[in-house]
Structure 1
Amino acid sequence: MTAAVSRRKVWLMAARPQTLPAGAAPVIVGGGLAVRNGVFEPFAAAFALVGALLLQIGTNFANDYYDAVRGADEADREGFTRVTAGGLIEPDSVKRAMYATFGLAVLLGTYLVYVGGVPILLVGLSSVVAGITYTGGPLPYGYRGLGDLFVFVFFGLVAVAGTYYVQAVAVAAAGPFPLWVPEGTLPAAAVVAALPAAGLSTAILVVNNIRDLESDAAAGKRTLAVMLGYRASRIEWSVMVGLAYAAPVVLWLDGFPPTVLVPLLTLPLAVRLGATVWSRTDGEALNPALERTGQLLFAHSALFAVGLAVPGVT
């Protein structure tokens, strides 16, 4: 029994549940905007949420496996324990779990493809490929400074706008498998509303890469932080977090009600995190900062979703 419990804990460690807010937060925001615009569709929203979480877990498995086999996870790494490099789970088992998780995401995504058509098919397949080739394949783009762009696009822009789109197209009853985006199902506001999740999700990665800058450089893993150095990476973090507070203001100035400004209540937490990110490089400080940035993402997204949705339910 003890061994079985231990095994479950190790797999939970591999899935990295502390990262799941990054998968859920964009879906929550997309749902909030859908409520505001009267296109909320719970079935599509639920499938989008589960799909996003599976993509997050699959990407976590992929990073754990490929970083280990490439030798990027050394003993002096200051981050959270990696199960493959730590010898806790056999590499082939982690690899199989990665493919199984992505496979389940694709299976559940068939409903979303049926509703959303070619746009969702392209987004879904590219998300799976991007999750694997982040650290896998012959040319892993996470080792070439493109990981930040991947997170910004897929865990921000695509996740929020895609969540909104599948609900809007379902309510519009455009018919199964539309070949392109039906008119009115993807407003510009969905892209603007995606910027906070995109920025804060990227900020999580930036904290991770600032912490690992020296070990990544030694292992030949050229993250954007390795290329930019500490100061420019900290500026990037500040810009990404700044987007989270600029976007609600832009929407408010464009005619959205004042409730859209509610996520600004999280600004003091962002300032405290900034003080740590700008002054520390060690895991003792940045591991908690990494988790708190994830908490900031979720808190900001939840408040943003409520602020967007309130006019739609009153």
Structure 2
Amino acid sequence: MATPAQWIEGARPRTLPAAISPVLVGTGAAAYLDGFVWWKALLALGVALALQIGVNYANDYSDGIRGTDENRVGPLRLVGSKVATPGSVKTAAFTCFGAGAVLGIVLCATTTWWLLVAGAASLLGAWFYTGGKKPYGYRALGEVSVFLFFGLVAVLGTTYAQAESLHWTAIAGAVSVGSIACALLVANNLRDIPTDSVTGKRTLAVVLGAARSRRMYAALVALAFVLAAVSAIATPWALLAFIAVPLAIKSIRIILSDAVGPALIPVLKNTGLTELLYAVGLGIGLALGG
């Protein structure tokens, strides 16, 4: 039986900035529109964290029973390393999904039931990323789903749930956060190209190859800062997002240095912190500019 520490590691805490960041930016965009509602922001954060942890456990379960994780470099895989049974990890995933669904229903009930459609799509996307007979994560569509759910849906949903309206700065923020979240997945899949190629997991990194994946990572991170500069048209405070530039440059240098395997693990941590710092800066900037 897995220890509490192993369950925490299996939840992959380094990926949690991908859940926190869109809520920060979405809340900043809501404040820009003079629509900040603190308890709705907390509900949105709860939904995002529950779904992120749930999808991490779901991926652990699905990849583990397929044998994809048996020789994987990186964080502990509960099923792949056989420290937890597949059934217990699957239960943990659905428990998180259930918690996220409950919080999402409360948020919908206080805003609009149309958000329920986005929530249901997010739950289905979380499970079928690596679950089911034909997981789309094995067909080079992982980055698309991350951009959609951890960028557009999460940011715009958070903004609308509070302000009940949208502004182009929210859209720019959604695209920028989604881009960095995609970069995080690109770095993860770049590290796993050798094992994914053998096990038949056709991620976008496997399809593009290492060289193109490295350039894609740099382009995605750069796009986020370009959009922050564009957002400065609405408020110069948006330039606070540039506090994340030094960390972003550090990660890009490692990626472009042809680092492989364990050498790429620090990039995952740094990319997550880059996204979080970026979101803090942009979220505060939008709020101050409102």
TM-score (norm 1): 0.89
Question: Displacement of 1:162 after TM fit?
Answer: 0.5
Is 2:139–2:204's contact at 8 Å kept on the other side of the alignment?
yes
Superposed displacement of residue 153, structure 1: 0.8
Q: Which of 1 and 2 has greater Rg?
A: 1
| Residue in structure 2 matching 1:299, options 265, 269, 277 | 277
Match of 2:245 in 1: 267
Match of 1:105 among 100, 110, 113: 100
Match of 1:48 among 40, 44, 48: 44
Residues 1:234 and 2:211 aligned together? no
Could you say which residue in structure 2 is the equivalent of 1:277? 255
Give SS of 1:86's match.
Answer: coil
Q: Distance in 2 between matches of 1:57 and 1:311?
A: 33
Question: Which residue does the alignment assign to 1:135?
Answer: 130
Q: Which amino acid aligns with 2:92?
A: A
Report if the CA contact (8 A) 2:41-2:158 is conserved: yes
| Counterpart-to-counterpart distance in 2, 1:274 and 1:284 | 16
Instruction: Give the equivalent residue in structure 1 for 2:161.
Output: 166
Number of matched pairs: 290
The alignment status of 1:81 with 2:76, answered yes or no, reads: yes
Letter aligned with residue 59 of structure 2: N
Q: Identify the residue that residue 208 of structure 1 maps to in structure 2.
A: 188
Shift of 1:103: 0.9
Distance between the aligned counterparts of 1:11 and 1:117, measured in 2?
35
Deviation of 1:275 after TM superposition, in Å, equals 1.1
Displacement after TM superposition at 1:251 (Å) = 1.7
Percent of paired sites with the same residue: 41
C-alpha contact 2:205 2:213 (8 A) present in aligned 1:
yes
Find the partner of 1:31 among 16, 27, 52.
Answer: 27
Counterpart-to-counterpart distance in 2, 1:291 and 1:280: 18
Indicate which of 177, 199, 209 corresponds to 1:219. 199
Distance 1:100 1:32 in 2: 30
Q: Determine if the alignment matches structure 1 residue 18 to structure 2 residue 6.
A: no
Paired AA for residue 97 in structure 1 = A
**Structure 2 gap segments, 5+ residues each:** none
SS in 2 for 1:117: coil
Structure 1 segments unaligned to the other structure (5+ residues):
170-184
Instruction: Give 1:110 shift.
Output: 1.1
Task: Provide runs of 4+ in structure 1 moved above 2 Å.
Answer: 115-119, 186-189, 280-284
Displacement, 1:246?
A: 0.9
Following superposition, the deviation at residue 111 of structure 1 comes to 1.1
2-structure distance, mates of 1:248, 1:264: 8
For the 8 Å contact 1:78–1:282, the answer to whether it is kept is no
Q: Distance in 2 between matches of 1:203 and 1:160?
A: 17
